[in-house]
Amino acid sequence: MNEKIVSVAPIKAQERFEFGKYANQADGAVWFREGANVLLAAVTYEEAEESDDDFLPLTVQYIEKTYAAGKFPGGFLKRESKLSDFETLTSRIIDRALRPLFPKGLTTPILIVVTVLSCDSDADLQRLAVLAASAALFVSSLPARKAISAVRIGRIDDHFVVNPTLSDMEKSTLDLFVCGSADELLMIEMRAMWANSLKVCEAELPEDKLLEAIALAQENVAKAAKIYDEAFAFAAKETKRFALKSDLIDEAIAAHVAARYDGAIKEALVCMSKSERGGALKEIVKQAAQSLETDDLRSVELAVEARKRFMSRKIVMDEDRRADGRALDEIRPILIETNLLPKAHGSALFTRGQTQALAIVTLGGDSDRQGLERLTDKTHSYEKFMLHYNFPGFSVGETKRIGAPGRRELGHGNLAKRAIECQISPDYENAIRVVSEILESNGSSSMATVCGASMALKAAAVPLQKLVAGVAMGLMTEGERHKILTDITGLEDHDGDMDFKVAGTQDGVSALQMDIKLGGLPLSLLAEALERARVARLSILEKMQSACDEIVVNKSALPGFESFNVDPKAIGAIIGKGGAVITELCEKYGVKIDLDKDGGGVKVRGADALSAIEARNEICRIAEESAKRPFGGGGASARTNAPSQYAINQELEGVIVKIVDFGLFVELPDGSQGLVHISKAGANGKRIAKLSDHFKEGDRVVVIFEGQDERKKIALNLRDKIAVD
């Protein structure tokens, strides 16, 4: 065993990378440890395989083992199975950070698996996973010999914090995650957020402050990545040469296509819609193959695709216009409709060019929240705001059947959620679910989702602090020249060098996501793209505000919500014996009721305002009647007994709150409950056959305090015995 170990401390904590000891059948592997956190990353590839896809077939799987935190898997099956949303989103982050490192045209299937084997509750597992994956890839034989680092930036008390812990992030109003190499930015994710522990929010971050935070992140990323480049070199395998797609293009075929079909390819790009373009390019491939008298359609397809990419970029670089005729900074026509679904709580249709998102809002109560249990969580948690994104095949003219949401759907929905969530106060009590149905897509359906969801929330009368809009920016480069594109289409995304999605309000950025395809991005170019995005965002927000002024809230469809408090001692009466009272209330008024047994909080959600108000009035009546009963009448669900202060043989007046086969539960003046066993209710020590023949709930009785055991259970004796024949 050729074990190689390196320990580094690039920013804060000591990091230990072990190569050559674990998972040696993989092409590259690392056992990575930081404090109590241990991750194993392994890289493999299929040497004999070659994909026909026009993108790198890279698959990343980030997997959390519950034993890493001393937990059992939740649910019925006590075994890890389907990846959680967090695992899926983290897999996407690793993929987006590493993908730019590979040479363009590589078609070898590659798999990177990162497994969390041990973790503490304050660990930033996403950052650690990127570091582990990068180290394993660096020492493999794949042509991606450049280490990357990842840095998270928080903002606490108006000060930027590098790599805050999870507990620190509870006080942060910014979550900025940046990945890069020693000299380039590769991937950025950012969101403005509520500092949960402080109830403080920066609903957006101005562009200048955002650039300041990114510059800080880049400085720390570059410092760490340089250390990794030097530290991992001794453990790296010799890089193998792999066939690239560009190497497979036949020069003679490429020359023939360029000489005879440039005009037809340009016409397909400029004069045709997205749906027509695909058919036109297939026809060009067919004609070129016939003129070349070849059956090698794959080689012709590669040549036509390469020429199409060249022509689409040439139009932008040389003519300062787009394939669809727009100026570089021009936004496609926008159309907005609100509350077009009569029974939905709120809805909006946002159309921008050939991209169309239908956003629908549903409002609910506490029981409608999404339960969460992450590996680092100490307790079960809930989220009140959900945003789900659906991308059916028909939106791009495909025959793909509809199934469970994939990684792309989860990622796009999460981006839109992060953009809007900071505009909703945590004090807003209702659960919110937004669903974005993509009806048509030709570029940036995630940003259309941001716009549509923002409008749908307004249409449902949800109190957003500010409207949020989103726009996707693109980039094309040629040598020292570059062109930034506003509101990119699918063609420009595919053939361009950057996908930069920016969402925010009129005052700044609330979320962004940047992916690079050319291997890196200087900060100066990023600043230029941010400014172009700001101008575009303000233009879109102006149109959204005009549509917002025309909203007619669908009041008849909106549910009714009532939130109030009662005496906590009355909660038992509201629930009733075996839950009978609360069940009857829910069925009678068609409502859902959530109760806080300790604080006395009551939340009622009804199909309409009237049903919620009627249910509230009935609950308040039950609570008032309960208060009139002696000693508060806490009912069968009275609070757990505390240590009693009563003296042995002390006589007390109480109220029967429950009758069971073996005795009477009696509530005492301090609210505690005791049991009169059936053997102590009859005179002369005789046993009563049926207690309910002599007593009913609510009867006042005099009892004798006999004591309290170690489990705080109180034993009582009935002073006035029942005569038994």
Q: How many CB atoms lie within 10 A of CB 130?
A: 27
pLDDT reported for residue 427: 82
Q: How many CB atoms lie within 10 A of CB 556?
A: 9
Q: What is the pLDDT of residues 224-275, one digit of tens each?
A: 999 999 999 999 999 998 888 776 778 888 888 888 888 888 888 887 677 7
**HEC secondary structure over 210-249:** HHHHHHHHHHHHHHHHHHHHHHHHHHCCCCCCCCEHHHHC
Q: Where in the chain is the domain with CATH 3.30.230.70?
A: 4-235, 334-548
C-alpha triplet 424, 503, 54: angle, nearest 5°:
130
Q: Which two tokens stand for residue 636?
A: 């069968």
Q: Is 321 helix (H, G, I), strand (E, B) or coil?
A: strand
Four-way CATH pick for 334-548: 3.30.230.70, 3.40.50.620, 3.40.50.170, 3.40.50.970: 3.30.230.70
Q: Residue 580 belongs to what H/E stretch?
A: helix 580-589
DSSP state of 466: S
Q: Where in the chain is the domain with CATH 3.30.1370.10?
A: 560-628
What type of residue is 6?
Answer: V
The alpha-helical segments, DSSP class H, found in 122-246 are: 125-138, 166-169, 207-232
Q: Is 317 helix (H, G, I), strand (E, B) or coil?
A: helix
- 370-372 and 37-45: which strand pairing? unpaired
**Cα 514 to the chain's mean position, in Å?**
17
Would you place residue 629 in the very low, low, confident or very high pLDDT band (cuts 50, 70, 90)?
Answer: low
Q: What is the pLDDT of residues 271-311, one digit of tens each?
A: 767 777 878 888 888 988 888 888 888 888 888 888 888 88
Q: What is the pLDDT of residues 165-178, one digit of tens each?
A: 998 998 999 999 99
Would you place residue 633 in the very low, low, confident or very high pLDDT band (cuts 50, 70, 90)?
Answer: very low
Q: Which two tokens stand for residue 268?
A: 């397909």
Q: How many CB atoms lie within 10 A of CB 183?
A: 13
Higher pLDDT: 599 or 36? It is 36
What type of residue is 118?
Answer: S
pLDDT reported for residue 326: 92
pLDDT reported for residue 634: 46
Q: Does residue 347 register a pLDDT over 80?
A: yes
Greatest mean pLDDT among 454-468, 507-521, 660-674: 454-468
pLDDT reported for residue 218: 93
Would you place residue 180 in the very low, low, confident or very high pLDDT band (cuts 50, 70, 90)?
Answer: very high
Question: What is the residue-wise DSSP string for 296-310?
Answer: -HHHHHHHHHHHHHH
Q: Which two tokens stand for residue 552?
A: 């007619």
Q: What is the pLDDT of residues 355-370, one digit of tens each?
A: 999 999 999 988 888 8
Q: Are the CB atoms for 323 and 491 separated by under 8 Å?
A: yes
Q: What is the pLDDT of residues 478-512, one digit of tens each?
A: 888 899 999 999 888 888 888 899 999 999 999 99
The fourth-level CATH superfamily of domain 560-628 is K Homology domain, type 1 (3.30.1370.10)
Q: Are the CB atoms for 489 and 443 separated by under 8 Å?
A: yes
Q: What is the pLDDT of residues 512-554, one digit of tens each?
A: 999 887 666 788 888 999 999 999 999 999 999 999 999 999 8
Q: Does residue 51 register a pLDDT over 70?
A: no
In CATH terms, the fold of domain 4-235 is Ribosomal Protein S5; domain 2 (3.30.230)
Q: Where in the chain is the domain with CATH 2.40.50.140?
A: 651-718
Higher pLDDT: 348 or 170? It is 348
In CATH terms, the fold of domain 249-319 is Arc Repressor Mutant, subunit A (1.10.10)
Class of domain 651-718: mainly beta
Cα distances from 85 to residues 150, 374, 388, 409, 433, in angstroms, run: 21, 10, 12, 11, 16
Q: Does residue 630 register a pLDDT over 80?
A: no
